[in-house]
Amino acid sequence: MMLIAGGIFTSQTNKAGLKFSNEGVEMTFAVNYVANFLLSVLLLRSVENGQGDGKGKGCRIVFLSSTTHDPKWGSNAFAIKKEGHKVLFPEEGVEVLANGSWQEEGSEGDRFGAALRRYGRAKLCGVLWM
């Protein structure tokens, strides 16, 4: 099983451009990190029981991520306009990414750049989890 779910979500109705799930989780974080994490946890029982190929040989879960978290990566340069944009992970922890309460300096008026930085941070959470 290969996990690479990804998406960037923005909203015109929210001042910061954030879009939320019905459960209150910021959608870019929900799809790029939470969905992959949850599916992996749910699949672990099958992997442990060797049910992957029907012959008792098990299976693998392969998690792919992105270079979007790296502010030095060339294609990310347009989203890094201020020094604060290089902050990869907030001191407050992962919860502020999930509930959308953490916004780095200068994200207002920069909806797509801010959304791309959120995407990169969610993918970084996946790298750290792996």
Give the whole-angstrom CA distance, residue 17 versus residue 115: 8
Please tell me the predicted confidence (pLDDT) of residue 29.
Answer: 92
- Which residue did the predictor score with more confidence, 88 or 107? 88
pLDDT(31) > 90 = yes
pLDDT, mean of residues 28-57: 77
pLDDT(83) > 80 = yes
User: Do residues 28 and 118 touch, judged by C-beta distance below 8 A?
Assistant: yes
Q: Which helix (H) or strand (E) holds 2?
A: strand 2-3
Please tell me the predicted confidence (pLDDT) of residue 53.
Answer: 55
DSSP state of 61: -
pLDDT, mean of residues 107-124: 82
User: Do residues 117 and 79 touch, judged by C-beta distance below 8 A?
Assistant: yes
pTM across the whole model: 0.80
> Rounded mean pLDDT of the chain?
82
pLDDT category at 23 given cuts 50, 70, 90 is very high
pLDDT(22) > 90 = yes
Catalytic residue among 15, 55, 86, 123: 123
Catalytic residue among 33, 57, 86, 119: 119
Annotation says 15 is catalytic:
no
Annotation says 119 is catalytic:
yes
Please tell me the predicted confidence (pLDDT) of residue 105.
Answer: 54
